[in-house]
Structure 1
Amino acid sequence: MSVVTTKDKLSPANAKDRAFPMEWTRNIGIAAHIDAGKTTTTERILYYTGVVHKMGEVHEGTAVTDWMEQERERGITITAAAISCTWTTASGPFADIQHRVNIIDTPGHVDFTAEVERSLRVLDGAVAVFCAVAGVQPQSETVWRQATKYNVPRIAFVNKMDRTGADFLGALNDMRTKLAANAHPLYLPIGAEENFKGLVDLVSLTASLFDESDPMGVKSIPTEIPADMRDQVAQYREKLLEAVSDFDDVIAEKYLGGEEITPDEFKLAIRKATVAQGFVGVIPGSAFKKKGVQRLLDAVVNYLPSPLDLPAIKAEDSDANPVELQPNDSSKVAGLAFKLWSDPYVGKLVFVRVYTGTLTKGSVLYNPRTRRTERVSRLMVMKAASREDIDVAHAGDICALIGVKGVITGDTLCSEDLDVRLEPPTFPEPVISMSIEPKTKADQEKMSIGLGRLAEEDPTFRVTTNPETGQTLIAGMGELHLEIIRDRLFREFKVEADAGKPQIAYRETITGKAEGVGKFIRQSGGRGQYGHAVIKLEPNEKGKGIEVLNEIVGGVIPKEYIKPTIEGIMEAANNGTVAGYPVVDFIARIYDGSFHEVDSSEMAFKMAGIFAFKEAMARCAPILLEPVMKVEVSTPEEYQGDILGDTNRRRGRIQNMETKGGACIITSHVPLEMMFGYATDIRSLSKGRASYSMEPSHFEQVPSQILSKIVETSSRAPART
């Protein structure tokens, strides 16, 4: 991996064919907890870069990247919106060079975490936005973990510095303690709350005040570093130098030798440390009040990586051997389809990050998963809800394709003679489900089409049909997720539907070890059926999932019958013995059995696998697990007692309590079953002044007093499949 360090390296051979060479391209995401100010920050970026001429506001429903009706009505981001802009920084190693910045504004609500997951998978860098009052919040931790999983370098923007209770250094300390981030300020704020009036640049040791006479926040006024801040500035600059010198030998040598370090050298060292993911630069600001956003843009250009700065892209060939791809316009094409969207005007859009090669309109792409080729009829760049046709997309670009079929999220699209698979994003399992029925028979077919398209777009949304009742079941990440699905069915597919009561996605597991014998023997005057398998069942590590091991020796079960036996075990695991829910985290070892030369068949051994599993599981002390949510409530102190009492009533366990910015922050673990209708209850308990957020935490054993009710309910319900 090499990091671009000097201007004389910015004249690549491929620049003649493209408006912005890869060195001058930044693919970034804006990610944070709900209501930290991601969309407002994006709106300001679009204004300062000239994409829009009037700043949109989330609370007015005019934000460019919140373009869905559901987003504008609720004031939240639901789908990740991609948009491009250009920025020229005035100082640093990239001064006076126009850069293209491709931005994806991601949702903050946990119900739409899939949007963040797939966006971070294809981005080169990220801006993590934190609230200066609340600091690191639950969803902040989630998106930070997601960025770490996909090795995404990031910088941080501490937003809302104008709000009462804003504490820049407190938020910085939160990042260090809760996220284990090596976070250091690149700027220090001059003042806070209503007195937030300027920034001190720790790299160049200059200060500037916001020009209050400029309502759009474009201008700033150079000034001296305030006398009462000089000691603090010297202290934090020293810490910043120490942090980046660990990643740059030249800087370390100069720092230890007491030599002067120029601002450009300093910035290149920060860039190197950021790209190496060992350092996070932090910028204070207030997006709503139009303060500090231009300095954030400078940091995006100066410190976040271009596609060329990152390690080679890892892939697998058709034989599952590791392959490395280098970003290069002249190579064969390889890209990752990370998102699908049904557009009412142009049909199915497939969003692709092009990693290598040049993609042109009319070109033929190969899908290694389906072993089919697809022709690209149109090529576009997205600007939130609007589209712009293009003829070519280069390595490092993010674009949308029209005309390709049979593609799902995570598919690789490449040249036919390349045949590689890029690592797809991974998604959490749904935690809540409900039945859904159209109000009229005429809507049945339209609902099936609509649900099929929505499931194609959203990997965390599942649609199944119960074969016994014919009921359609939908599953997702939360109540809001399924509410939005129903709303989209009505608005986009003109289907009115009634929904049943939400159901919890319980799981079952085992706590002991046991053997199980499965025999399937049928004699019916002619060829009969004979299958016999013996298995050992034992618990697996939490979160490790299901492992089925073939430990047959001596051919007591022929190889051709092992696969159907495994299939039988997996099928039986879909309906456990406690309440009929899927079984997780176990190891099954097939170690004995027998067969008949004439009567044995694949079907007989599949049935033997089912019987063996059911018998073994019943002896393994099975338990029922329920999803538990991490809930964070922010409430004025006078309602603290009521909130705590309500949490205890919901079988919640308090994990932490602290006071921030005059509000009491209560963190607890509460079973999902007890969280339905919480939004309404918390409003009435606090006269509308408390707010909460929640995210899936873990699965936990259901208490015995609750278990009997769940088992009774499940025995009356149709069997799950």
Structure 2
Amino acid sequence: MNGTATKAPTVTATTSIRNVVLVGPSGSGKSRLFDHIVGAAVPARAPRGDGGDDGNPTTGLRAATISTGSVVVTLLDAPGNPDFVGEVRAGLRAADAALFVVSAADGADAASRALWHECALVGMPRAVAITALDARDADFTATLADCQAHFGAGIQPLGIPVAGEAGAVTSIADLLLGEIHDYSAGERTVRRAGPEHAEVFDTFRPSLIEGIIEESEDGTLMDRYLEGEDLDFATLEKDLLTAIAHGTFHPVLPLSAETGAGVGVLLHLIEAAFPHPALHPLPTVTPVAGGPEVELTADPDGPLVAEVVHTESDAYVGHRSLVRVFSGTLRGDRPVHVSGHLERLGVPTGEGHAPHDDDVRPGALAAPLDDELLPKTEAIAGEIVVVTKLGSAQTSDTLSSPDQPLLVTPWALPEALLPAAVAPSSRADEDRMPGAFRELAAEDPSLRIEHDSATGQVVLWTTGPAHLGLVLARLRTRFNVSVDQVPVQVALKETATARAEGLGRHVKQSGGHGQFAVCHLVMEPLPRGSGIEFAEVVVGGAVPRQFFGSVEKGVHTQLEKGLLAGWPVVDVRVTLTDGKAHSVDSSDMAFQTAAGLALRQLASPSTMTLLEPIDTVSVSVDDEHLGAVMTDISTRRGQILGSAPAVDQPGRSVLEAAVPQLELLDYAVSLRSLAHGTGTFHREHRGYEEMPERLVAQHLGERGRHA
């Protein structure tokens, strides 16, 4: 902690609040810009730099609340790595506007386009900041053209960087005011543009003015402009600010995280154009007990509704929840109802995300200043604050009044599609694992922890390699739990391919009553999905009727254990055709055992095979990568089911295929590489199909070696 600020900024009304999330890919300069903006408001504060949680760059939401004089701004820095898109969505939920950061050296690459789509999905008002202006490969004009081509209508620059001596960007041309903002002396000085800047203004100013006029509610402006009228700045700025607030116009600002060039203009834009919380739509809210949607507004005197958007905990600081208040007023000395019901989203949640409802008393409230907390007594509708000691609260949980428990529908959680099986390194690690998993799940709704009953494995489902690495690092450093990664097993099934017969003979004599049972069984294949059928055609009383149930029970028990490789047997009919019994020594257990022996005796690779699970996979990808994705699906033994243009996403297609689960274990990583970060996919279980003979032989060989 830096100790540079002692008081939280004073919030007088919801209308004086601005919540802004910085969104952009890794390497865009987003986190350095965050530090620069905070530093402009708190000059004595040393920037933290690019380091993040567990020594990794920005893996969670950073937050800082600053005062710009007329408004209180809470900035959120969202991760740029695609593995942490869940944190980006949490930031978009908490904020009311976004600052979209693009590097002038990289342009609007695939990662930028994917993040822009995330903002567009929730209708987030946003401005574009182009950074890294002095980088060796920087090209502001080309990057601007990239943004206009990929981000759609409404992308227009408010300023253009002007190179000074030695090519360094020391000035920015303000297109609306006709001014040059010069930062060469370290602080901004303003002068009127000269004749040497005419080309810049002639090139970029007309399209900016026309773009603003198109968004204006004054239908006469375009005619007046085309007739040659010089529209005054006040008129243009009013329409510009309205268009930005409506989310239909996205101004582009050149910004330098090195010198702070453009930061003053950005802060003015945030104050004047970005919407306050009362202007931004609230998420869907319903009673915890169920019922119709509850209509709310961002009113400090309304019912309390707040949401946990980020959670952190460690051995020294304890549990800290970053909370956005949507309605009412949150006070540290009044109990709140904590409610979490991710299961209502209809997505797999795994261990640690069980539904819960608790009444708790929150700990201290504070305004965040990155890693520093500035104490507060209350937070009104629109504020983002840190709450300590909400021990039962998980990320995405709702806080409301115990007298009126309400539930906010969580943001869309990313699918965890990269599995990793782990095993404790020692008995002590095994004892600590359950508690560690509960804590990790509470912090991270994107993490799915599954105890697979079919394979006996503990599987961590993550969003990608970086997410998996972070989870494993937190297990080790925070909870002192060491685990070993082991190959993920896919649960198979066995079935019959041909009719087979087997004789089971269970005869034992050891004093007193012995054990005697003989069964002759026939197993035949059934159509896929038929399950297990049992029949008997015994004649002449060879097996007394009272033991038919014993044989059937023994059959089901053995089929569940498997015959070839230890996987359950499905889609077969087993028929008891003959057998023998003893008037004294036959028993229920003897015939159960004999039935199992008969099935094991008839089983062989020549009459049985393995079934593997098949998923229906829907892949959304840029059209230019569709061919490569289709080829890759084919190499994974996939069957292409069809493709079609993506709805509301020009230039993208959705491919559907049936793919064996065995071939999907690394698909989350491979697709990202194939599609250069533009691909996403969804999978649903489709059914079971026969495994190819060569893979059956390979699998049986591996099971034999490990038996």
TM-score range relative to shorter protein: 0.5 to 0.7
Shift, 1:313, TM fit: 5.1
Taking a change above 3 Å as real, the CA distance of residues 521 and 148 of structure 1, as seen in their structure-2 partners, is farther
In structure 2, the partner of 1:482 is 468
State the distance in 1 between where 2:300 and 2:451 align. 46
In structure 2, the partner of 1:253 is 220
Three-state SS of the structure 2 residue aligned to 1:246 is: helix
- For residue 107 of structure 1, the aligned residue among 61, 71, 79 is 79
Is 1:159 aligned to 2:131, yes or no? yes
Three-state SS of the structure 2 residue aligned to 1:142 is: helix
Alignment of 1:215-614 (within 5 A): 219-250=187-218, 252-258=219-225, 261-311=231-281, 314-317=284-287, 318-367=289-338, 369=340, 370-467=356-453, 470-501=456-487
In structure 1, the partner of 2:183 is 210
* Count of residues in correspondence between the two structures: 540
Taking a change above 3 Å as real, the CA distance of residues 262 and 289 of structure 1, as seen in their structure-2 partners, is same
Judge conservation of contact 1:133–1:167 (CA < 8 Å) in 2.
Answer: yes
In structure 2, the partner of 1:70 is 55
147-156 or 416-425, which deviates more = 416-425
Three-state SS of the structure 1 residue aligned to 2:37 is: helix
State the distance in 2 between where 1:505 and 1:202 align. 63
State the distance in 2 between where 1:111 and 1:159 align. 23
Judge conservation of contact 1:651–1:674 (CA < 8 Å) in 2.
Answer: no
Shift, 1:350, TM fit: 2.5
Judge conservation of contact 2:396–2:445 (CA < 8 Å) in 1.
Answer: no
Taking a change above 3 Å as real, the CA distance of residues 632 and 257 of structure 1, as seen in their structure-2 partners, is closer
TM-score of the superposition, structure 2-length normalised?
A: 0.67
Shift, 1:35, TM fit: 0.7
Is 1:196 aligned to 2:169, yes or no? yes
Q: Deviations over 1:40-63 (max 9, x none)?
A: 1111111111164334443xx5xx
Taking a change above 3 Å as real, the CA distance of residues 224 and 427 of structure 1, as seen in their structure-2 partners, is same
Q: Deviations over 1:131-165 (max 9, x none)?
A: 11221122212221221222211000011111233
Alignment of 1:624-643 (within 5 A): 624=615
Shift, 1:253, TM fit: 3.0
Taking a change above 3 Å as real, the CA distance of residues 206 and 366 of structure 1, as seen in their structure-2 partners, is same
- For residue 175 of structure 1, the aligned residue among 147, 153, 159 is 147
Shift, 1:464, TM fit: 1.9
Q: Deviations over 1:52-75 (max 9, x none)?
A: 4334443xx5xxxx3x3422xxxx
Taking a change above 3 Å as real, the CA distance of residues 149 and 706 of structure 1, as seen in their structure-2 partners, is farther
Judge conservation of contact 1:106–1:119 (CA < 8 Å) in 2.
Answer: yes
Three-state SS of the structure 2 residue aligned to 1:112 is: helix
State the distance in 1 between where 2:89 and 2:154 align. 23
Alignment of 1:75-94 (within 5 A): 76-87=57-68
Shift, 1:457, TM fit: 0.9
Counterpart amino acid of residue 238 in structure 2 = L
State the distance in 2 between where 1:444 and 1:149 align. 42
Counterpart amino acid of residue 698 in structure 1 = F
Shift, 1:368, TM fit: 5.2
Shift, 1:201, TM fit: 0.9
State the distance in 1 between where 2:681 and 2:697 align. 24
Q: Deviations over 1:387-407 (max 9, x none)?
A: 233211111111122343543
Judge conservation of contact 2:127–2:252 (CA < 8 Å) in 1.
Answer: yes
State the distance in 1 between where 2:241 and 2:695 align. 55
Unaligned runs of 5+ in 1: 1-16, 88-96, 507-513, 529-578, 581-617, 634-643, 653-668, 683-690
Judge conservation of contact 2:464–2:668 (CA < 8 Å) in 1.
Answer: no
Taking a change above 3 Å as real, the CA distance of residues 622 and 47 of structure 1, as seen in their structure-2 partners, is closer
State the distance in 2 between where 1:197 and 1:165 align. 17
Taking a change above 3 Å as real, the CA distance of residues 705 and 316 of structure 1, as seen in their structure-2 partners, is closer
State the distance in 1 between where 2:698 and 2:201 align. 64
Judge conservation of contact 1:32–1:108 (CA < 8 Å) in 2.
Answer: yes
State the distance in 1 between where 2:199 and 2:690 align. 61
Taking a change above 3 Å as real, the CA distance of residues 294 and 111 of structure 1, as seen in their structure-2 partners, is same
Shift, 1:522, TM fit: 11
Judge conservation of contact 1:175–1:181 (CA < 8 Å) in 2.
Answer: no
Three-state SS of the structure 2 residue aligned to 1:36 is: coil
Judge conservation of contact 2:11–2:17 (CA < 8 Å) in 1.
Answer: no
Shift, 1:422, TM fit: 2.2
Unaligned runs of 5+ in 2: 1-8, 341-355, 493-526, 537-544, 550-566, 569-608, 637-654, 656-662
Shift, 1:444, TM fit: 1.6
Three-state SS of the structure 1 residue aligned to 2:365 is: strand
Judge conservation of contact 1:275–1:310 (CA < 8 Å) in 2.
Answer: no
Three-state SS of the structure 1 residue aligned to 2:311 is: strand
Aligned residues with identical type, % of pairs: 22
Shift, 1:346, TM fit: 4.0
State the distance in 2 between where 1:456 and 1:274 align. 36
Taking a change above 3 Å as real, the CA distance of residues 285 and 344 of structure 1, as seen in their structure-2 partners, is same
Taking a change above 3 Å as real, the CA distance of residues 203 and 456 of structure 1, as seen in their structure-2 partners, is same
TM-score of the superposition, structure 1-length normalised?
A: 0.66
Counterpart amino acid of residue 28 in structure 2 = A
- Name which one, 1 or 2, has greater alpha-carbon Rg: 2
Shift, 1:175, TM fit: 1.8
Judge conservation of contact 2:26–2:80 (CA < 8 Å) in 1.
Answer: yes
Counterpart amino acid of residue 470 in structure 2 = I
Three-state SS of the structure 1 residue aligned to 2:427 is: coil
Three-state SS of the structure 2 residue aligned to 1:484 is: helix
Three-state SS of the structure 2 residue aligned to 1:425 is: coil
